[in-house]
Amino acid sequence: MERIENLKIVVPGEFLGDVREYIAGEGTYVSNGRIYARILGVVIYDTSKKMVCVKPIKSPILPKKNDIVLAEVISSGDSIAQVKIYFVIKRRDKDLRFIPLIPPFSGLIHISQLGTRTESVSTLLKVGDKILGHVTIDAYPPFGVSLVGKSFGVVAARCSICGTPLIYRENDLFCPSCKKRNPRKISPLYNFEKFEELFRKYKEKALIGMEVE
């Protein structure tokens, strides 16, 4: 069975494994008994065939209606927040896989899709917040993204005053420096380190990818 590890994007020349362990599949090359990525892509270790290959990520993956996505808030106004969708999340068996979208897609969250009542979207979503949402409109970008539902909302955020990563406590986000509450539409899956790391990796690898082309 195909196995895609969580966000395992590789760049050309990245070490993937040893020929004693794996057969070098498509998108790879062998040098001195070591297997490397030949292209920018998602690495797949096929354990049954003992094969490693790299699937190109230039072939467009389009977010579709009802897909769960990870996005970053780019702007936040009274009635709408603009986001960039960086990942589609697929569930396979018990694993969640984060499939990077390269380039990221534009999305919009309308005030009616926040999943909570507020006067202005900007009070509950701030620029730079990472959000977990689902796609409601997939006809053309910007795609409609919704935070309606218990699991959806902000999964990583910084204090809007001092920039310190916010801490999740009793269904609320606190800044440990300012000792203040930062209101958000929060996801119970909030995990600053985990989600910031995903975006950081994406941005690093995507930049490297562009440079090698």
Stretch that binds Zn ion, among 41-49, 78-86, 118-126, 177-185 (CB under 5 A): 177-185
Residue 162 lies near Zn ion (rule: CB under 5 A): yes
Stretch that binds Zn ion, among 34-42, 101-109, 136-144, 154-162 (CB under 5 A): 154-162
Residue 212 lies near Zn ion (rule: CB under 5 A): no
Q: Which helix (H) or strand (E) holds 195?
A: helix 192-212
By CB under 5 A, name the one of 40, 68, 88, 175 that touches Zn ion: 175
Other Cβ atoms closer than 10 A to 29: 14
Contact (CB, 8 A) for 146 and 152: yes
Taking the complex as a whole, how short is the minimal distance between the CB of residue 181 and Zn ion, in angstroms?
10
- Kindly list the strands in the beta sheet with 180-181, ordered across the sheet, starting from the edge strand earlier in the chain: 167-169, 172-175, 180-181
By CB under 5 A, name the one of 178, 189, 196, 208 that touches Zn ion: 178
Instruction: State which residue, 151 or 177, has the beta carbon closest to Zn ion.
Output: 177
By CB under 5 A, name the one of 2, 21, 92, 161 that touches Zn ion: 161
d(CA 5, CA 153): 24
* Beta strand spans in the chain (E): 4-10, 15-18, 23-24, 28-31, 34-37, 41-46, 51-56, 68-76, 80-92, 95-110, 130-137, 143-146, 153-156, 167-169, 172-175, 180-181
d(CA 176, CA 189): 19
Query: Which residue is at the shortest CB distance from Zn ion?
Result: 159
Residue 173 lies near Zn ion (rule: CB under 5 A): no
Residue 116 lies near Zn ion (rule: CB under 5 A): no
Instruction: State which residue, 82 or 182, has the beta carbon closest to Zn ion.
Output: 182
Q: Is 94 exposed, middle or buried (0-12, 13-18, 19+ CB in 10 A)?
A: exposed
Taking the complex as a whole, how short is the minimal distance between the CB of residue 120 and Zn ion, in angstroms?
21
Instruction: State which residue, 39 or 159, has the beta carbon closest to Zn ion.
Output: 159
Residue 198 lies near Zn ion (rule: CB under 5 A): no
Contact residues: Zn ion, CB under 5 A = 159, 161-162, 164, 175, 177-178
